[in-house]
Amino acid sequence: MRISLVLFAAILSFAGEGLGQSADIVKKNYNIARSGLALDGYDPVSYFNVGEALEGKKDIVASRNGVTYRFVSNQNKEAFLAQPEKFEPQYGGWCAYAMGAKGEKVEVDPETFKIIDGKLYLFYNKFFNNTLESWNKDESRLKANADRNWSKIVQRKD
């Protein structure tokens, strides 16, 4: 009996490590470098509900795969928790244009975004370079490239 319990504990420990590694891989691919928060603390649901980026409150948070999100209301938090894949930004929150043009992870301005087919895309917008404008000129090609490039990134285990 004691051996069975030890074996069961070892299996649980191993399974837990695998789940942790999976979350770490997701977190590593996510754009959280500056603030430690997804979307620099902006509420992912607000992009869809009000059509603009609203900063979330420090005391209304939720985590998914080790990534922390802030929300403007508990209602938005609950909507996110019910369907996180609906609200999470594409390409881990990295610039959609850069992902499509060169397959690179580039910082974004969370207030520069576009909703396409019910998905959130973010863009770099600094130093007189708004990549959303470039994206709009060749969206279908850039989106197809970005989808392919992102798929390669998330498949890597490094």
- With respect to residue 135, please indicate whether it lies within any of the assigned structural domains: yes
* Burial bucket for residue 48 (CB in 10 Å: 0-12, 13-18, 19+): middle
- With respect to residue 32, please indicate whether it lies within any of the assigned structural domains: no
Each residue's pLDDT tens digit, 45-57: 999 999 999 999 9
The model's confidence at residue 28, banded by pLDDT at 50, 70 and 90, is confident
- With respect to residue 15, please indicate whether it lies within any of the assigned structural domains: no
Is the predicted pLDDT of residue 36 greater than 90, yes or no?
no
- With respect to residue 60, please indicate whether it lies within any of the assigned structural domains: no
The model's confidence at residue 24, banded by pLDDT at 50, 70 and 90, is low
Residue 127's domain spans which residues?
89-158
- Report the C-alpha dihedral over residues 116, 120, 126, 130, rounded to 10 degrees: 0
Taking the CB of residue 145, how many other CB atoms lie within 10 A of it?
16
- With respect to residue 66, please indicate whether it lies within any of the assigned structural domains: no
The model's confidence at residue 158, banded by pLDDT at 50, 70 and 90, is low
**Count: domains in the chain:** 1
Tokens at 134, concatenated: 């470039």
- With respect to residue 36, please indicate whether it lies within any of the assigned structural domains: no
- With respect to residue 149, please indicate whether it lies within any of the assigned structural domains: yes
Each residue's pLDDT tens digit, 69-81: 999 999 999 999 9
- With respect to residue 134, please indicate whether it lies within any of the assigned structural domains: yes
User: Which pLDDT value is given to residue 155?
Assistant: 83
Is the predicted pLDDT of residue 143 greater than 70, yes or no?
yes
